[in-house]
Amino acid sequence: MADLYETLGVDRDASFDEIKKAYRKLARSYHPDVNPDPKMADKFKEITAAYEVLSDPDKRQNYDVGGSGFGGGFSNAGFGFGDIMDAFFGGGQQRGPRPRTRPGQDALIRVEVDLKEATFGCERDLNVDTAVVCAKCGGSGCANNSRSRTCDICKGRGETQQVARSILGQVMTSRPCASCQGFGSVISDPCTECAGDGRVRSRKSIPIKIPAGVETGNRIQLSGQGEVGPGGGNAGDLYVEIVEIAHEYLIREENNLHISIAIPMTSAALGTTVTIETFDGDQKVEIKEGTQSGSTVLLKGLGVTKLRGSGRGDLIVHIEVVIPGKLNKEQSELLRKFAESRNEDGSKVVIHKNSDQGFFSKVRSAFR
């Protein structure tokens, strides 16, 4: 029988990666689906049988000391089906044992803030239920300072192989080892606190600074504050999503705030000064003489802090003029005399024409 190293064209001290690379290159040339020549099919079985031995540490060692390398029940007609797929499709799934220590997952929580907190920012302490490193075993998953041992079934490879017959001969398939779940090692004495996982569920307090200007939907990323991974792996990130609570009388529109106040008809006609409560304390608002319902007064710089950029938005005061619904005899008489003094006839109306752009501009603005 030809030397297996020569069959694959590799040195006797070649690494597993070098052996696999050589096999993949030859398999593309000699596979029966690519080259139907019967001689090529025999060559393909020969290189596959060589790879079957040299890619297995135990079989390779047996071969190097003078054995056949194929072991009981194997013949040079067998081949690794997964490696044939690698040869034609460029790799595929990762082979070998999977690590016990793996990164943790990211987490998302929602935090409610009121409008004042959104305007000026605030600090919070979040109480989060999450996975943390097991304090008893330090994340190793092993009790009493013990260590995991190499799996007796897969010999540390994390996978086992099975042979089945097919039209091309014997097909060898690989699957995760059932004894060690693919880790290649077994924890003989698992930690009683975490049952070998290296992490436990716990509640922890996380301080967070919520910047001024946030609104519903904004997210704050806290690196490394998510769940700790299996085996005490690096923690993922924690994302805090903001939910803004509606205010009792202020309405937010981007960085501006809106407030609506109602004043008596006489105050609108004569003018006055009113005081309103804002996030910056009490503010005086001047109502000019003859103010109409729907008018606005702008208080600059009293809105929400800009999340990006500098400064704050404005506070816009919307004025509603309240007309009395019921008058006594004396009040009615006074209003009637007032109307006569202004030559106002209540039975006559003024119809605005289309050319009155000022009026219709106000109507359009009201509908918007």
Binding site for Zn(2+): residue ranges?
134, 137, 151, 154, 177, 180, 191, 194
Yes or no: say if 147 and 188 are a contact pair by the CB < 8 Å rule: no
Angle at 218 between CA 310 and CA 119, to 5 degrees: 45
| Sign for the pseudo-dihedral over CA of 139, 143, 146, 152 | negative
Return d(Cα 142, Cα 148) in angstroms, integer: 7
Angle of helix 57-64 relative to helix 38-54, nearest 10 degrees, comes to 100
Contacts of 144 (CB under 8 A, 6+ apart): 189
Helices H, strands E: what count in the chain?
9, 16
Residue in the block written with tokens 């008489």:
333
Yes or no: say if 268 and 293 are a contact pair by the CB < 8 Å rule: yes
Structure tokens at 34: 């690519």
Residue type, 313: G
Binding positions? 134, 137, 151, 154, 177, 180, 191, 194
Alpha-carbon torsion, ordered 246, 249, 252, 258, to 10 deg: 170
Return d(Cα 259, Cα 317) in angstroms, integer: 5
Return d(Cα 246, Cα 235) in angstroms, integer: 34
Burial class of residue 313 (count of CB atoms within 10 Å of its CB; 0-12, 13-18, 19+): buried
Structure tokens at 296: 């606005």
- The secondary structure of the chain in percent helix, strand, coil, rounded to multiples of 5, reads 25, 30, 45
Return d(Cα 347, Cα 28) in angstroms, integer: 99
End-to-end CA distance of the chain: 90
Least Cα distance to 256 among 319, 308, 213 occurs for 213
